[in-house]
Amino acid sequence: MRVFVAVDLPEGDTKERVKAYLEGLGDKRWLKPVSPNNLHFTLAFIGEVGDQVAEKAKRALIQVKHQPFEVELSGIGFFPDERRPRVIWIGVSEDKGGRELEGLANLVRDKLREANVPYDSKPFTPHLTLARAKGDSTGNIPSAGSFGAFLVEGFSLKESVLTSSGPIYRDLQVVSLV
């Protein structure tokens, strides 16, 4: 199974603003937008693992202790850069949740490492993926200010089932922040 650890973007005003921005992109055939149901922050990508490793991950993740915190979504960014956008994303205000999100990702990764659960060790960059570029075509992506804020109250170990119409995510373990 293909698994990762993530904070979901919850229903509410902030998510509605993100959805409106996505809809405002219009018919950009060179973009493959993320389904609004799948909007999340990846804290750790684990990848293809068997049931035993997924169970080790579950046991490790319930040991993560962190207080709930607020995150403000702000601005549009690109990986690898604006000239060659492969991924279009919304950023997080460093002073309004960015440091806390990074701290949570570090705690999650520490617990996974202690449990010998392998994960992609690329540095964590707090971002909410909106769309992926298809092919070499590019176009203009409108800038944006604040999308609003939301409260991070937990995270999940998720299974990702890849289908021809896009991934389907299923929670394997939900961890509440207290």
Instruction: Give the tens place of pLDDT for each residue, 105-163.
Output: 999 999 999 999 999 999 999 999 999 987 666 668 888 999 999 999 999 999 999 99
The residue written with tokens 């750790």 in the block is 44
CB atoms within 10 A of CB 26: 9
Catalytic choice (15, 109, 127, 158): 127
Chain-centroid distance of CA 98 in Å reads 13
Model pTM score: 0.94
Q: How far apart are the first and last CA of the chain?
A: 29
Q: Which of 15, 22, 40, 71 is catalytic?
A: 40
Q: How far apart are CA 101 and CA 107, in angstroms?
A: 10
**At which residue do the structure tokens 């994303």 appear?**
89
CB 115 within 8 A of CB 57: yes
Instruction: Based on the residue annotation, tell me whether 40 is a catalytic residue of this protein.
Output: yes
Per-residue pLDDT at 114? 98
Least Cα distance to 1 among 40, 39, 51 occurs for: 51
CB 160 within 8 A of CB 3: yes
Report helix, strand or coil for 167: coil
14-65 pLDDT, tens digit per residue, is: 999 999 999 988 777 888 899 999 999 999 999 999 999 999 999 999 999 9
* pLDDT recorded at residue 94: 86
Give the span between the Cα atoms of 91 and 33, in whole angstroms. Answer: 16
